[in-house]
């Protein structure tokens, strides 16, 4: 079959989206490829389609179990049975059975941590891998240096499994991040396809408040009146739960919380309920939404400011994949920077913890180490990785402290870039494009609050006449904010 026949027969499409065909052609020609395609354009097709035109298995490194499960399910809906996700959902007996029959699978999904296990590598060496895929490849640079260091080993692992052609896929990556991806994956003269992050149908709006109590009431007003479904992002697990209860007490019932402390089966259930419109609003931390193929999300609200522009663009890109008018709204209260600063402080160990860790002789009892040194799991992973990197250096603690300070400085600089964007007095779309070193495009009609966008009919429900007063109040408040700038 030709690629056009596969596109129609298996996936049911008549034509490719922007960037898909170029990427697929390069993959089929055996090139290493780095593709930055806009959120919602169908990045997964870029490795799924070539799998039907190549011999061997496609190995996909995916950052989240929920994302793997969703992609497995989507392929199964298309009739694919030769697909497996090797993760904690498989018990030991089942995993061993899958590994013995690994050559039967066309698509193999796993996390970088799973891929780093010696037993897994030994089985992968025994099969033909036609394509090595890193989905959400920005995670290599965004997460690898801190709390998921297994991402940094993917280039070495790739070499150990016979150096298959590699495809790195992402929706947002600055030029230096793309260089990082190429270097760490050890790509060989890769073809690069980089498309704009701009989503003209998403209006970008920031509201500023003096106190969080105002922000809380405004959020309720917005969710009552905005067209649904939608996602609300929080930086606090506790607040996702509290706001679900708050909404339910105020008549918004199709709502659920999603965060890392919820067990995996429940997270997948919430994701599926949202995909199938059984839930209209999800209050979530940043993990929710990655890879979710839901086209009709009408709003994405950030109750807390993200720690960096990359995260913000990724998250708002989950709205409006059907091309219809959608809104990205960030609610800012004075002093909101303090929460992400605290999170940055918690992610990395302090100097005394690094020095104390390097004095330990028994590193096997991690529970005891965490208790004695007051370490989080994230901090412990950071220490374990960089202590091994500098294992032969006599000043190992000093080197780890140096790395920690560099990472903290980078995180803080990205936070202040995000803060500058929030407080900007120029077009938000233009400023976001400039951040990603893109040339400015013409602004859409519903651009941003700086461009005097009128948030009227496209964003509000017309189901209830009693919502009219709330809508008028919202429009009046927006105009007041615009006049104050």
296 with 347, same domain? Answer: no
Predicted pLDDT at 42:
85
106 with 254, same domain? Answer: no
Query: Is pLDDT of 431 > 50?
Result: yes
Predicted pLDDT at 454:
60
pLDDT band at 472 (very low <50, low <70, confident <90, very high): very low
Structural domain of 136: 3-194
Residue 468: phi and psi, rounded to 5, are -60, -45
Q: How many CB atoms lie within 10 A of CB 365?
A: 11
Q: Which of 392, 415, 438 is the last residue of a domain?
A: 415
125 with 240, same domain? Answer: no
Q: How many CB atoms lie within 10 A of CB 181?
A: 26
Query: Is pLDDT of 169 > 60?
Result: yes
Dmax over CA atoms of the chain, in Å, equals 72
72 with 132, same domain? Answer: yes
Query: Is pLDDT of 466 > 50?
Result: no
329 with 455, same domain? Answer: yes
Q: If you write DSSP's letter for every residue of 395-406 in order, what string do you get?
A: THHHHHHHHHHH
Question: What average pLDDT does the structure give for the chain?
Answer: 89
Q: Which of 132, 163, 194 is the last residue of a domain?
A: 194
Residue 459: HSE in the Cβ half-sphere, 13 Å Cα cutoff: 26
37-46, 197-206, 432-441, 461-470: lowest mean pLDDT where? 461-470
Query: Is pLDDT of 317 > 50?
Result: yes
161 with 290, same domain? Answer: no
38 with 104, same domain? Answer: yes
**Mean pLDDT, to the nearest integer, of 92-112?**
93
353 with 406, same domain? Answer: yes
**Mean pLDDT, to the nearest integer, of 64-85?**
89
- Give the pair of three-digit tokens for residue 216: 């809380």
**Mean pLDDT, to the nearest integer, of 325-353?**
92
Q: Which of 415, 446, 461 is the last residue of a domain?
A: 415
Q: If you write DSSP's letter for every residue of 260-288 in order, what string do you get?
A: TTS-HHHHHHHHHHHHTTS-SEEEE-TTT
Residue 215: HSE in the Cβ half-sphere, 13 Å Cα cutoff: 23
160 with 229, same domain? Answer: no
115 with 217, same domain? Answer: no
pLDDT band at 146 (very low <50, low <70, confident <90, very high): confident
162 with 91, same domain? Answer: yes
Helices 377-389, 338-347: axis angle to 10 degrees equals 50
20 with 115, same domain? Answer: yes
Q: Which residue has the tokens 């609050």?
A: 449
- Is residue 139 within 8 A of residue 286, CB to CB? The reply is no
- CATH number, position 294: 3.40.50.300
Strand, coil or helix: 7 = helix
181-190, 212-221, 433-442, 465-474: lowest mean pLDDT where? 465-474
- Give the pair of three-digit tokens for residue 420: 């500058």
Q: How many CB atoms lie within 10 A of CB 173?
A: 23
| Domains contained in the chain, number | 3
Q: How many CB atoms lie within 10 A of CB 236?
A: 15
């Amino acid at each position: 079959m030709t690629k056009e026949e596969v596109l129609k027969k298996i996936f049911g499409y008549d034509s490719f989206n922007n960037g898909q065909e170029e990427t697929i052609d390069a993959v089929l020609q055996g090139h290493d490829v780095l593709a930055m395609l806009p959120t919602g354009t169908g990045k997964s097709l870029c490795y799924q389609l070539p799998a039907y035109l190549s011999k061997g298995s496609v190995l996909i490194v995916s950052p989240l179990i929920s994302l793997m499960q969703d992609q497995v399910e989507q392929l199964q809906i298309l009739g694919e049975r030769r697909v497996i996700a090797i993760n904690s959902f498989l018990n030991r007996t089942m995993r061993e059975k899958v590994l013995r029959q690994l050559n039967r699978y066309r698509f193999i999904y796993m996390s970088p941590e799973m891929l780093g296990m010696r037993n897994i590598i030994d089985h992968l060496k025994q099969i033909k891998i036609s394509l090595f895929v890193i989905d959400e490849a920005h995670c290599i640079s965004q997460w690898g240096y801190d709390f998921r260091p297994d991402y940094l080993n993917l280039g070495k692992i790739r070499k150990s499994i016979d150096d298959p052609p590699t495809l790195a896929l992402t929706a947002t990556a600055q030029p230096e991040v793309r260089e990082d991806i190429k270097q760490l994956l050890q790509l060989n003269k890769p073809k690069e396809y980089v498309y704009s992050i701009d989503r003209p149908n998403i209006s970008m709006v920031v509201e500023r408040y003096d106190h969080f109590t105002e922000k809380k009431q405004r959020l309720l007003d917005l969710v009552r009146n905005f067209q649904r479904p939608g996602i609300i992002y929080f930086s606090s697990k506790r607040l996702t739960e509290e706001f679900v209860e708050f909404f339910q007490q105020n008549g918004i019932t199709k709502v659920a919380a999603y965060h890392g402390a919820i067990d995996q089966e429940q997270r997948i259930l919430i994701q599926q309920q949202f995909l199938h419109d059984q839930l209209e609003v999800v209050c979530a931390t940043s993990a929710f939404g990655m890879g979710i193929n839901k086209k009709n999300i009408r709003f994405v609200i950030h109750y807390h400011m993200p720690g960096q522009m990359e995260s913000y663009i990724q998250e708002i890109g989950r709205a409006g994949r059907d091309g219809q008018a959608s809104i990205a709204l960030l609610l800012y209260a004075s002093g909101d920077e303090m929460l992400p600063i605290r999170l940055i402080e918690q992610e990395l160990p302090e100097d005394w913890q690094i020095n104390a860790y390097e004095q330990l002789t028994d590193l096997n009892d991690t529970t005891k180490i965490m208790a004695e040194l007051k370490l989080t799991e994230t901090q412990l992973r950071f220490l374990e990785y960089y202590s091994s990197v500098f294992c032969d250096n006599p000043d190992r603690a000093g080197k780890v402290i140096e790395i920690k300070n560099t990472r903290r400085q980078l995180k803080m600089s990205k936070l202040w870039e995000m803060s500058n964007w929030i407080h900007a007095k120029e077009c938000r779309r233009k400023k976001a494009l400039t951040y990603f070193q893109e040339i400015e495009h013409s602004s859409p009609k519903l651009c941003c609050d700086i461009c005097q966008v009128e948030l009227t009919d496209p964003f509000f429900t017309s189901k209830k006449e009693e919502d009219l007063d709330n809508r008028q109040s919202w429009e009046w408040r927006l105009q007041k904010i615009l006049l104050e700038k």
